[in-house]
Amino acid sequence: MFSSKQVIAILGAAILNVMAGAAPADEVVLYCAEQHMAGMQNQDGNWSGFYGGEEFGRRYAIRFNDGMTEVSGVQGSDTVHRCERYFPNKAPDVVTCVNSQVATMHFSYSTESKRFVLAMLGPGGWLAEGTERGEQYDDYLPEQVIMGQCQSF
């Protein structure tokens, strides 16, 4: 059995871990590489499709919290995405995450295949064409879908 000093030391360490917010042991850290990009872009008033392969893709580490309800690191950003499993019956392996600052940016990840899809859509670009805001801002990002694969560290 433990002595009273050992019990006090164990309890003290446990309390310090709780107070310090020790990192959960179940965090998932992955290294991701973008492999395919497709979308629409406006060049001098002319809309056209574009495609980019791995040579144009980014590589970055992402971190899911314990329970996979949040992810950060998407495209190298610190922005937190809120995640849920929206298809528990048909696709229980798919975690879909919404950017907490831009609700039209979605990151979906399959825990089974380790593939991801990042949809970057917004109020600018195609939707802004012909509007007052479209005339004010010409630096909107193009609408695009990015597909890739992640692996464990």
pLDDT tens digit string along 49-68?
A: 989 998 888 999 999 999 99
Distances (CA, A) of 88 to 11, 62, 96, 115: 39, 23, 11, 18
Looking at residue 142, what is its pLDDT?
73
Fold classification of 24-152 is Porin (2.40.160)
Average pLDDT, the chain: 83
Contact assessment for residue 80 and residue 97, using Cβ atoms and an 8 Å cutoff:
no
Looking at residue 44, what is its pLDDT?
78
Looking at residue 17, what is its pLDDT?
40
Could you tell me the pLDDT band of residue 143, with boundaries at 50, 70 and 90?
Answer: confident
Predicted TM-score of the model (pTM)? 0.77
